[in-house]
């Protein structure tokens, strides 16, 4: 952490459609270690939200426990939010989403919070297709408890003292694909040129959007022998597709497709322009996505980018025919019709 909060200087900055500068999207001072990848993910979220010209108060930030889960305090200080119990963020997000579908739900979790204590919750939020952006800041260790391996640590990756991990890792992207997620991506905290468009796309996707972000732990997992260090990730970084999020659907896409690109129109407006990098990868093909991720990591490649997208799935609201109107906008008398109405309702079950 730093000795002081970032001074709010904005004279040099452009404003977005709401007349806000990027400073208006920042939060309180980070208390994470200097150089933590999570702070870069925070900066990417700030950037994405500002670029989309979404009002900070249109977001609800939810998180559990862990270094990652602290970060909701570090962006968009003007948003709604709640820090929940360890691994229980998806339940709280589900409840919040059920009664108010108007907000942009951003869940920030870690490999411990999502893949160990909260693994069940994680799985069922995906099954429900909760309309939220779910970011896992994945560093392979438990940083807050001084660097034990987490469930995402690769076999052979060593601790700071040189002890190798022997247990098989859980890949959250593979899990999400098999559980039926409609938006699965992997990013790296060190590459905002990829991460910011992914966050924008994930926010505008209707349904559950998972972004697994390799976000190195600078204190406990950034050494030689770690497979989640900055140096290792840069060395084996391998984007499968390049993603551009275009907010204005009127922009020409035909030319893009003729050039070998692919485009996906998002439910809430906006278009994803996708371009293959080296491999022949189509993120609309789920079988290929699972197959690619299940293959041994040839050459040690860390495959990143938008791995899978399906824009045609019903989210929780639609599948369960939940009311469109947020409950906090329902008239009080209608929302709480009184004891007589309750009595009448209960009689129906007698």
Partner 1 sequence: MRERAPATFHRSGESSLKPTNTQDPDYYHKVVDCQWACPAHTPVPEYIRLIAQGRFTDAYLVNRRSNVFPGILGRVCDRPCEPACRRGRVEEEPVAICRLKRVAADHRDEVAHLIPQKPDTTNGKKIALIGAGPASLTVANDLAPLGYECTVFEALHRAGGLMISNIPSFRLPEEVLDEEIGYIENMGVEIKYNSRIDSLKDLLAEGYDAVFVGSGAPKGKDLNIEGREEASANIHIGIEWLENVAFEHTKAIGKKVLIIGVGNTAMDCCRSSLRLGADDVKVMARKPREFFKASPWELEDAEDENVEILVNHSPKRFVMENGKLVGMEFELMEYELDERGRITDQRVSGSKIIPCDDVILAIGQENAFPWIERDIGIEFDKWGVPVVDETTHESTLKGVFFGGDSAFGPKNIIWAVEHGHQAAISIHKHCENQPVTERMPRGLNLQSAKMGVNEWMYSNTFEGAHRREMPLEDLRSRLKDRKLEVELGFTEEQIVTEVQRCLNCDVQTVFDPPLCKECDACIDICPVDCLSIVPNAEEADLRQTLKVPANNLEQDLYVSEPLKDTGRVMVKDEDLCLHCGLCAERCPTSAWDMQDADIFIPHALEEVKGVAAE
Residues that bind partner 1 (CB under 8 A): 2-4, 6-9, 11-13, 33-37, 39-40, 42-43, 189-192, 194, 216, 218, 222, 230-231, 234-239, 277-278, 299-300
Residue among 4 and 258 whose Cβ is closer to partner 1: 4
Nearer to partner 1, 45 or 176 (CB): 45
Contacts of 192 (CB under 8 A, 6+ apart): 40, 43, 44, 47
- Residue 144 CB, shortest distance to partner 1, in Å, is 17
What is the nearest approach in angstroms of partner 1 to the Cβ of residue 13?
Answer: 7
Q: Residues 16, 50: contact at Cβ < 8 Å?
A: yes
- Check: CB of residue 300 under 8 Å from CB of residue 292: no
Minimal distance in Å, beta carbon 9 to partner 1?
5
As a whole number of angstroms, the distance between CA 282 and CA 137 comes to 25
DSSP codes of every residue in 122-163:
HHHHHHHT-SEEEEEEE-SEETTTT-EE-TTPPTT-B-TTSP
Kindly tell me which of 146 and 235 has the beta carbon lying closer to partner 1. Answer: 235
- To partner 1, the closest distance from the beta carbon of 51 in angstroms equals 13
CB of 131 to partner 1, least distance (A): 28
Least distance from partner 1 to the Cβ atom of residue 348, Å: 56
Enter the tokens of residue 274.
């996708």
Give the DSSP per-residue string, 29-54: PP-SPTT-HHHHHHHHHHHHHHHTT-
Instruction: Specify the residue, 2 or 312, whose C-beta has the smaller distance to partner 1.
Output: 2
d(CA 43, CA 23): 11
Question: How many CB atoms within 10 Å of residue 287?
Answer: 9
Nearest approach, Cβ of residue 27 and partner 1 (Å): 12
The DSSP element (H or E) to which 82 belongs, if any, is: strand 80-83
- 11 or 161: CB nearest partner 1: 11
Is 181 or 241 the residue whose CB approaches partner 1 more closely? 241
CB-nearer residue toward partner 1: 1 or 342: 1
CA–CA dist 76, 218 (Å, integer): 24
Q: Count CA within 13 A, CB hemisphere, residue 251.
A: 15
Q: Which is nearer to partner 1, 81 or 190 (CB)?
A: 190
- Classify residue 75 by its DSSP letter: B
């Amino acid at each position: 952490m730093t000795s002081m909060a970032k001074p709010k200087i904005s004279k040099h900055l452009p404003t977005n459609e709401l007349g806000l500068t990027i400073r208006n999207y920042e939060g309180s001072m980070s208390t994470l270690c200097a150089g933590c990848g999570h702070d870069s993910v925070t900066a990417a979220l700030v950037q994405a939200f500002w670029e989309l010209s979404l009002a900070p108060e249109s977001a609800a930030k939810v998180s559990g426990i862990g270094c990652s889960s602290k970060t909701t305090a570090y962006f968009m200080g003007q948003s709604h939010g709640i820090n929940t119990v360890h691994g229980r963020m998806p339940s709280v997000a589900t409840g919040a989403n059920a009664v108010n579908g108007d907000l942009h739900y951003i869940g920030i979790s870690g490999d411990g919070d999502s893949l160990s204590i909260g693994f069940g919750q994680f799985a069922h939020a995906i099954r429900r297709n909760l309309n939220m952006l779910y970011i896992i800041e994945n560093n392979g260790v438990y940083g807050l408890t001084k660097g034990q391996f987490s469930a995402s640590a690769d076999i052979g990756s060593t601790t700071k003292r040189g002890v190798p991990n022997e247990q098989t890792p859980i890949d959250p992207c593979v899990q999400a694909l098999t559980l039926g997620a409609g938006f699965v991506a992997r990013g790296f905290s060190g590459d905002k040129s990829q991460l910011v468009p992914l966050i924008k796309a994930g926010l505008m996707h209707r349904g559950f959007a998972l972004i697994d972000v390799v976000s190195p732990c600078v204190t406990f997992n950034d050494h030689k022998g770690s497979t989640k260090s900055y140096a290792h990730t840069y060395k084996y970084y391998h984007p499968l597709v390049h993603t551009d999020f275009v907010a204005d659907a009127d922009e020409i896409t035909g030319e893009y497709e003729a050039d070998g690109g692919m485009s996906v129109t998002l439910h809430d407006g906006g278009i994803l322009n996708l371009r293959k990098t080296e491999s022949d990868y189509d993120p609309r093909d789920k079988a290929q996505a699972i197959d690619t991720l299940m293959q041994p990591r040839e050459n040690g490649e860390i495959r990143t980018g938008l791995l899978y997208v399906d824009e045609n799935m019903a989210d929780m609201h639609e599948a369960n025919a939940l009311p469109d109107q947020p409950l906090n906008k329902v008239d009080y008398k209608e929302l709480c019709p009184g004891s007589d109405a309750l009595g009448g309702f209960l009689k129906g079950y007698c």
